[in-house]
Chain A
Amino acid sequence: MKFDLLKNLELQARTQVTGYELFRNEKMPYSATTYGREQAKGDYREDRRSLLENNTDVLLNYNKTFAHDISLRAVGGFSGRFFRYNSNYASTDYLSVPGVYTFDNSLNPTRANSFNSRMQVLSALYSVDVNLGRYATLSTTGRWDKNSTLPSDKNVYFYPSAGVSTVVSDYVRTPAAISFVKLRASYANVKEAFTQQNVYTAFSPLNGSNPLGYGQTFASPYEGPSYGTTVAYTISRPYNNEAAASYANALVDPNLKPSSRTSFEAGLDVRFLKNRIGLDVAYFSYLDGPRIFGLTLPEATGYSSLTTNGIKSQKRGLEIALTGTALKSARGLNWDVTLNWSTFQEYLKEIYGSQTRLNQFYKVGDRLDAYYGSAFARTREGQIINDANGRPVVNPVNQFLGYTNADFAFGFINKFNYRNFFLNVQVDGRVGGVIEDYIQKQTFRGGRHIETVQGKMGEARYQDYKGVASWVGPGVVLTNGNIQYDVDGNITNFESLSFSPMSDANKTYLQDWISRYYNTNEANMISRSFVKLREVTFGYQIPSQVLQGRLGL
């Protein structure tokens, strides 16, 4: 609905309803099994979810154009979000009669869960855009939310944004080679509290796992309350289907504030030689935090965490795009090139109070994509330490194994055309970062990796089959002493340990060595770097005059 109230002033009201009804059922046939369901008597389950959301807003628009192309647009108003979600999940516990998929046919009592939620957000908001003719455009927004997910005395919060852009070359004389210069910058802050993006099967928000221990949990869109401020009992049925209750392990800070994310972006767009070469540089920085997070408490408090505000991290990135026309000829060969290069990293800026570590490993200043995993105990010289049986010793504390994010990503896009023929070639890639090769790990452990039948390993595997231990792995063998580690997994008693090179006495069965060696994360880390030939397109464009007047065109 729109009403024009005065000249330049317009009142707008709108309301919209979105939602979904979801019904998902599963039939587990008689005699099919999965882990833990070896009685193989089938099951029937239903997952029902219903989400309904209404967004209503009333906005006042003001538009005014002044002299010299200067204009103003201002919007102010109120908006409301009304959210409701209901779900339930039920499952038989085996079937009495095969093939009859109903709850009444359950052999043992049925299991059922429900999860319902409601939420409201009432907001007041404004935005102002000012166009200063050829000099600049400015915009700013602001929003107050009153959110039902927060305690009633602390549920109102404000967050603003602002942006400016200016085409410098429109009002400053530039050297002839520079044809266009534009600068832009923006700032935005977003606050949020205790909602979650997706919702899972009805048992998940409460007890976490399927009452029968098998089955996929399916995510559907939610954006509703996660009830993070609740400190209450959880009901479970741990013994003989009888109800029991345990109290929450997470306390909630009574002075909790919404989480905050502040982003800043700045960009430069320069074009040279009548737009033949273009350079676009963008820098961004997201300051994430203070977040809402679970501060780990020493368990002696009776609780495992305190939901509070803390942890700041900063994601910084740079993106550079160079575009150019290398060859340009109306009747000859044309070649357009784009080169992209980008990088970003996230660093930990602040934890909480005097805390020195986040999640056991991360210190202030560390990259948050640092990966810690199981690793071998090593000598001072870095050699793998093996036990008397010739199997590597695994460090009891996870160790740093690399960063998971790439150092940078790049793209190289080429477009050629000659008359009506064209060829596009696109190459891109990422450099840096590590990942665990899970396929390698499990194929080695399961004896199905190609290397287990080739070369030295193939020979040792044959010896395994004959019952002869023949494999000697890399590293040294611990000949005396018991390894002691400190809490970070550093070996503290090298002086009382002695090592010697691996010998025939340390021969082991290959498959036992593999089970140990490849069961660590360290043995399976691979580089994530890649270069990909993303696209090659070759084509011919039929001249428009050929088709003109035909095919009804």
Chain B
Amino acid sequence: MKKILYSLVLLLSLGSCQKFEELEKNPNLPVQVPADLVLKDILMDMYEGTWNKDARYNQYYTVNYNYYGNNEYDWTTSDLRYTTLKNVLKMEEEAKKNLSTDKNAYAALGKFFRAYFWFWMTQRVGDVPLKDALQGEANITPRYDTQKDIYLQVLTWLDEANTDLGSLQAAGQATLPLKGDIYLNNSLNSWQKVVNAFKLRVLINLSKRTDDADLKVKTRFAEVVSNPTKFPLFTGNADNLQFVYNAVYNKYPINPDNFGNDATRQEMSATHVELLKRYQDPRLFVTAEPAEAQLKKGVKATDFAAFVAPSPALSLDVMSTGANNGEYSFINRNRYYKGYTPEPTVILGYSEQSFNIAEAINLGWATGDAADYYQKGILANMDFFGIKNGTNTVVFEIRNAGVATSQSFTISFDPTAYLGQSLVKYAGNTTEGRKQILNQKYLALFMTSGIEPFFNWRRTGYPDNFATQGAGIGTRGIPRRWQYPVSDRLYNETNYREALQRQFGSATQDNVKDELWMLK
């Protein structure tokens, strides 16, 4: 009888506290959260890492060890960013609840995020759903919008975000009301600069579509550059939108933890190193190390000739043999492998903005001194790498009798002399000048800005020494776009085929070699 009593007590304790209907709900997850928590997640999605495959597509470094990867352009389908965009909607929804108004800073940032992620997607695959998108079950076969319509909408959102952020500040609001910003200290002014700097990135990416009467690429660009009051822009590296690492939770992707595994299985890439050598550029000494074989030949460690890197087009077996023989420059181990926070990873930076304006002036879209912006872009990046006017100390790991030791060397940097070199001195608003701008932009974007360096090459063909053919690239050469996700073909087939037909002239070919509308 006692047992029965116990059981009944247990039974009651198990069954009584909650209503049956309540039990369906997961007690471990919230259905409502403050908007700043969602913001943080969206901001994390803007960060794309570095020293990854994207950085190899940008030809900034190479891997020589087949077991862990290669340098091929072997991509197929692209990811999309709609789940992030759904979080943007949720953030706006929560912000409206938290702040009891939809005219708030989260809504303004929401417009920027829409622009940012739709641009991200269309740059990769082409047409994507926009008007029909993000409706959940209400529309599970959304139609695709044309790339042109997407760019138009992106530009509209950016204008609205700029206006909204401006009016909030005019009304006395300087920061995000709930905080949550991991990049810009919740400053609305900083975000407004990001919005406009990003607009310049979008517009310069449309350089092949300046003829379009609706996009009005040139006019829009000139409007931003000529009116800094209405369109505040970055004024220095301090304004950069960048991911700052910490030593415990968010370590730089290459660090002492993976040093043993990676440091000699990866090395620099000729595309980057040869360009630095061509311009006698001290950034070489900061990012790379002299090749052992060159030092053995008696070449000085701070001689540009000591730096040799394989082209990503090189067959991997040849590359690994070369690496084993010490023929190549490794990634500068002192800078990148000694700690967990060697440098922040820029998502959108002042240097890029400077080069974008320089290119636009070069192309005659806006008035101004292209050389000035070009030089600002270069010097800001020298500054990013800690290279200052005068004497600089650089450190290399140098192997002697099988033991590597850190050795310091001094180099001197004179900005005037650097900028005065015949190959660096701005050649004027000519093709040569544009090449200089884009080559320098490539150097300044080293290991930052996602896959923007690749997009620059795809759009302009610069840097001029970008490797395009060879065994290391892969049998299909360098693709021009990504395929749509497999789920589009399987679960939204009619619209998917219609979009393919409209863009590339065949409803059945989703080909990575086809050209996007923006590049035609």
* Chain A residues within 8 Å of B, Cβ to Cβ: 1, 15-17, 36-39, 52, 54, 56, 80, 82-84, 93, 108, 114-120, 122, 146, 148-152, 155, 205-206, 225, 227, 229-247, 249, 251, 253, 295-304, 306, 355-357, 360, 385, 387-389, 393, 396-397, 445, 467, 469, 478, 482-484, 486-487, 492, 508-509, 511-512, 515-516
Contact B140 A301 (CB under 8 A): yes
Q: Does B87 contact A (CB under 8 A)?
A: yes
The segment out of B21-29, B282-290, B362-370, B450-458 that lies at the interface is B21-29
B475 smallest CB distance to A (angstroms): 5
Q: Is B172 an interface residue (CB 8 A)?
A: no
Q: Are A301 and B476 in contact (CB under 8 A)?
A: no
Question: In the complex the two chains form, what is the Cα distance from A159 to B362 in whole Å?
Answer: 76
* A299 CA to B485 CA, complexed, in Å: 9
A238-B41, A512-B66 provided; 11 other pairs, C-beta below 8 A?
A152-B24, A251-B137, A296-B487, A296-B491, A297-B140, A301-B136, A302-B89, A302-B135, A356-B490, A393-B475, A467-B321
- List B residues 214-252 near A (Cβ within 8 Å): 246, 248-250
Q: Determine whether the beta carbon of A482 is less than 8 Å from that of B483.
A: no
Instruction: Give the residues in chain A near B99, CB-CB below 8 Å.
Output: none
Residue B347 is within 8 A (CB to CB) of chain A in the complex: no
Given that A93-B248, A492-B509 are known contacts, is A299 also in contact with B82, CB under 8 Å in the complex? Answer: yes
Partner of A300, one of B30, B142, B256: B142
- The 8 Å CB contact of A232, one of B11, B29, B317, B491, is B29
The answer to whether residues A360 and B249 also contact, given A38-B256, A303-B83 and a CB cut-off of 8 A, is no
Residues of B within 8 A of A (CB): 4, 7-8, 10-11, 14-15, 18, 20-21, 23-33, 37-38, 40-41, 43-44, 66-67, 74, 76, 80, 82-83, 85-87, 89-90, 128-129, 132-137, 139-142, 182, 246, 248-250, 256-258, 260, 315-317, 320-321, 471, 474-477, 483, 485-493, 508-511, 513
**Cβ-defined contact, A389 with B28, below 8 A:** no
Pick 28 A–B contacts, CB within 8 A, sort by A.
Answer: A52-B14, A146-B20, A227-B25, A227-B26, A229-B24, A233-B30, A235-B29, A235-B37, A238-B250, A244-B38, A245-B33, A245-B37, A245-B41, A246-B41, A246-B83, A247-B38, A251-B136, A298-B487, A299-B82, A299-B83, A299-B487, A301-B133, A301-B135, A301-B140, A301-B142, A484-B511, A509-B317, A512-B316
- Nearest Cβ on chain B to A149's Cβ, whole angstroms: 6
Separation in Å of the B77 CB from the closest CB of chain A? 9
Question: CB-CB < 8 A to B511: which residues of A?
Answer: 484
Contacts of A115 in B (CB 8 A): 28
CB pair A360 B486 closer than 8 Å: yes
Q: Which residues of B sit under 8 angstroms from A54, Cβ to Cβ?
A: 7, 10-11, 14
The 10 closest A-B pairs by CB, nearest first: A302-B86, A244-B40, A515-B66, A148-B23, A227-B26, A245-B37, A300-B129, A82-B14, A512-B317, A230-B26
Closest CB in chain A relative to B29 CB, distance in Å: 4
Interface contact B38-A241, CB-CB below 8 Å: no
Taken together as a complex, chains A and B put the C-alpha atoms of A237 and B37 apart, in Å, by 10
Residues of A within 8 A of B4 (CB): 1, 15
The smallest C-beta distance from B164 to any residue of chain A, in angstroms, reads 23
Smallest Cβ distance from A467 to chain B, in angstroms?
6
Residue of B90, B141, B249 touching A298 (CB-CB under 8 A)? B141
Q: Which residue of chain A lies nearest to B34 when distances are taken between CB atoms in the complex? A: A245
Inter-chain contacts of A492 with B (CB < 8 A): 509
CB of B343 to closest CB in A, whole Å: 17
A249 touching B141 by the CB < 8 A rule?
no
- The answer to whether B90 touches A247 (Cβ under 8 A) is yes
Q: Assess whether B82 is in contact with A232, with CB atoms less than 8 Å apart.
A: no
Which residues of the other chain, A, contact B44 by a CB distance below 8 angstroms? 238-239, 244
- The distance in angstroms between the C-alpha atoms of A487 and B133, with both chains bound, is 23
* CA gap between A337 and B92 in the complex, in Å: 74
Nearest residue (CB) in A for B128 is A300
Tell me, rounded to whole Å, the shortest Cβ–Cβ distance linking B21 to chain A. 4
B30 touches A235 (CB 8 A): yes
Residue of A nearest to B325 (CB): A467
Residues on the A chain within 8 Å of B8, using CB: 15
State whether B475 touches A387 (Cβ < 8 A). Answer: yes
Distance of B340 from chain A, by nearest CB (Å):
10
Q: How many A-B residue pairs have CB under 8 A?
A: 251
Separation of A253 and B246 alpha carbons in the complex (Å): 42
Q: Check A484/B29 contact, CB under 8 A, given A119-B23, A244-B44, A247-B90.
A: no
B492 touches A300 (CB 8 A): yes
Contact in complex: B492, A298 (CB < 8 Å): yes
**B250→A206 contact, CB < 8 A:** no
CB pair B257–A36 under 8 Å, yes or no, is yes
Chain B residues within 8 Å of A206, by CB:
28-29
The residue in chain A whose Cβ has the minimal distance to the Cβ of B142 is A300
Which of chain B's residues has its CB closest to A236's CB?
Answer: B41
The residues of A that contact B40 with a CB separation of less than 8 Å are 238-239, 242-245
Q: Which residues of B contact A303 (CB under 8 A)?
A: 83, 86, 136
How far, in whole Å, are A80 and B10 apart by their CA atoms in the complex? 13
Q: Which residue of A lies closest to B31 (CB)?
A: A232
The answer to whether B24 touches A148, judged by C-beta atoms less than 8 angstroms apart, is yes
Which residues of chain B are within 8 angstroms of A388 by Cβ–Cβ distance? 315, 471
Q: Which residues of B contact A445 (CB under 8 A)?
A: 67
Contact A242–B509 (Cβ < 8 Å): no
Q: Which residues of B contact A239 (CB under 8 A)?
A: 40, 43-44, 182, 249-250
Task: Give A114's nearest chain B residue, CB to CB.
Answer: B28
B98 to chain A, nearest CB (A): 13
Whether the pair A484, B83 counts as a contact (CB closer than 8 A) is no
Which residues of B are found within 8 Å of A482, using beta-carbon distances? Answer: 475-477, 513
Choose among A225, A235, A301, A487 the residue with the greatest number of B CB atoms under 10 Å from its CB.
Answer: A301
Considering only CB atoms, which chain A residue lies closest to B134 in the complex? A302
B477-A487 in contact (CB<8A): no
CA distance A512 to B321 in the complex (A): 11
User: B139 — which chain A residues lie within 8 A by C-beta?
Assistant: 301
A387 to chain B: closest residue by CB? B475
Determine the distance from Cα of A1 to Cα of B38 in the docked complex, in whole angstroms.
55
For A19, the closest partner residue in chain B by CB is B10
Given contacts A148-B24, A239-B249, A484-B511, contact A230 B7 (CB under 8 A): no
Q: Are A205 and B28 in contact (CB under 8 A)?
A: yes
Q: B489 contacts which chain A residues (CB < 8 A)?
A: 487
Q: Which residues of A contact B129 (CB under 8 A)?
A: 298, 300
Bound state CA distance, A362 and B108, in angstroms? Answer: 44
Residues on A with beta carbons closer than 8 Å to the beta carbon of B90: 233, 247
> What separation, in Å, do the CA atoms of A388 and B139 have in the docked complex?
47
* Cα(A52)–Cα(B13), bound, Å: 11
Query: Are B249 and A387 in contact, with the CB atoms below 8 A?
Result: no
Name A146's closest neighbour in chain B (CB-CB): B20
Whether A484 lies near B142 (C-beta < 8 A) is: no
A241 to B248, CA, bound (A): 9
Chain A residues near B471 (CB-CB < 8 A):
387-389
Residue pair A486, B321 in contact (C-beta under 8 Å): no
Question: Which residues of B lie under 8 Å from residue A389 when comparing CB positions?
Answer: 315-317, 471
Kindly state the separation between the CA atoms of A384 and B324 in the bound complex, as whole angstroms. 30
- Choose from A155, A245, A302 the contact partner of B82 (Cβ within 8 Å): A302
Q: Is the CB of B31 within 8 A of A233?
A: yes
- Smallest CB-CB separation from B315: which chain A residue? A389
Min CB–CB distance B170 → chain A (angstroms): 30
Using CB atoms, name the residue of chain A closest to B30.
A233
Q: Tell whether, in the assembled complex, residue A487 and residue B486 are in contact, meaning their CB atoms are under 8 Å apart.
A: yes
- In the complex, what's the smallest C-beta–C-beta distance from A189 to chain B, in angstroms? 23
Smallest Cβ-Cβ distance to A484: which chain B residue: B511
Q: What residues on B are CB-neighbors of A80 within 8 Å?
A: 11, 15
Highest count of chain A CB atoms <10 Å: which of B140, B489, B492: B140
Q: Tell me how far the C-beta of A384 lies from the nearest C-beta in chain B, rounded to whole angstroms.
A: 13
Whether B14 pairs with A84 at a CB distance below 8 angstroms is yes
In the complex, chain A residues whose CB is within 8 Å of the CB of B140: 297-298, 301, 306
A231–B30 CA distance with the chains assembled, in angstroms:
9
**CB–CB B87/A297 < 8 A:** no
The residues of B that contact A231 with a CB separation of less than 8 Å are 31
Set of chain A residues within 8 Å of B315, measured between Cβ atoms? 388-389, 508
The answer to whether B248 and A108 have CB atoms under 8 Å apart is yes
Are A301 and B137 in touch, CB under 8 angstroms? Answer: yes
